[in-house]
Amino acid sequence: MKLPTRRAFALSATAAAFIAAAACGTSAFAADFTIRLGASQPADHPMTATMNRFKEVAEKESAGRVKVEVYPANQLGSQVQMNEGVKSGLVTMTYSSIAYIGGNYEPKYNSLMLPFLVRKDNVDKAWAALDGELGKELQQTLERVGIKAMGYGPIGSRHITNSKREIKVPADLAGIKIRLQPNKVHIDTFKTLGANPTAMDFSEVYSALQQGVIDAQENPADIIATNRFNEVQKYLSLTGHFYDFAGLWMNKAYYDKLPADLQKVVTHASQEAMKFHRKLYTEKEAGYLEGLKKAGMQVYQPSAEELKKFQTATEPVYAKFMADAKDKAFVQKVWKIMGRD
């Protein structure tokens, strides 16, 4: 997979936006309801393909009564602004990490954010929980702030990139200035590992790396590739320290005003989109990683022994999290599901 430059992609995305706008303007019929769905990832990222899948199903099954406008690449604002827009009703929907929601609206989500708790070898347990009773409980608590969780997709295994040196063991992170999502669990994890973490909205990351404000960031391979971080980062270490989930978030008041039949349509469209993304992530991950290697990134796969050092070093994060947790029973339930006693 050959990666285009960030500038080339920006030009093609602008052209696509004009084409899409023109197509919208030729519609012969006005929809009864318009959903504005935004996210921070670019047009060629699987999250955008997932939003387009939601659009396809919702518009088809509603026979045109629902129109979905998809806005990738922070067109509706930063991810923090889009999440707040969904809460207030200025934005209908967004597709973003549960880390943002756990950090700002419902801390129960942070129970799934702990280092090495969810991994590729046990992620099926997390999917079953999120699709089942645990997901319903999270949905009910989040609705109190005006946000409805419509389903969950994969952001995936997060890995470390940086411009300084190869990261093999925790000691290699000493003094590294690394951007993290605005989530206390993430910040505490990298402080414990000896790095110098800072919370930053995703929309600011590329320029901060380019200007040397930060040395490093951490994300899955598809986000690293589609955002062209390889242009400003030399090293990639496949630590998989967090497995991240995306939530499809909807303004609850908007959902509640939909007729019952259209509520069923958007619910089904959400389910179909989440299934689509889970399959797509599995199919595409290796290709993105290979593309990064071909683009010149130095990719390091830590050994099992080296990964164990990361896991051991982050154990104090669990004790601190449990001590601070308001709903300790919920935390214990999540940990039990994931096989941690």
pLDDT one digit per residue (tens) for the chain, 341 residues: 667 666 554 544 444 444 444 344 334 468 999 999 999 999 999 999 999 999 999 999 999 999 999 999 999 999 999 999 999 999 999 999 999 999 999 999 999 999 999 999 999 999 999 999 999 999 999 999 999 999 999 999 999 999 999 999 999 999 999 999 999 999 999 999 999 999 999 999 999 999 999 999 999 999 999 999 999 999 999 999 999 999 999 999 999 999 999 999 999 999 999 999 999 999 999 999 999 999 999 999 999 999 999 999 999 999 999 999 999 999 999 999 999 97
Reported pTM = 0.92
Alpha helices in the chain (DSSP H): 6-25, 46-61, 79-88, 98-104, 123-130, 133-142, 184-192, 205-210, 221-226, 252-257, 260-294, 304-313, 315-324, 328-337
**Residue 228 to residue 72: CA distance in whole angstroms:** 16
Contacts of 294 (CB under 8 A, 6+ apart): 1, 2, 3
Maximum pairwise Cα distance, the chain? 62
Residue 234 maps to a domain: yes
* Closest to 115 measured CA to CA, from 170, 65, 154: 170
| Residue 1 in domain | no
Domain that holds residue 184: 6-333
341 lies in some domain: no
Decide if 338 is inside a domain.
no
* CB-CB neighbours of 336 under 10 Å: 10
> What are the structure tokens assigned to 81, written together?
């602004």
How many structural domains is the chain composed of?
Answer: 1
Is residue 339 situated within a structural domain?
no
Q: Is residue 205 part of a domain?
A: yes
For residue 162, the domain's CATH number is: 3.40.190.170
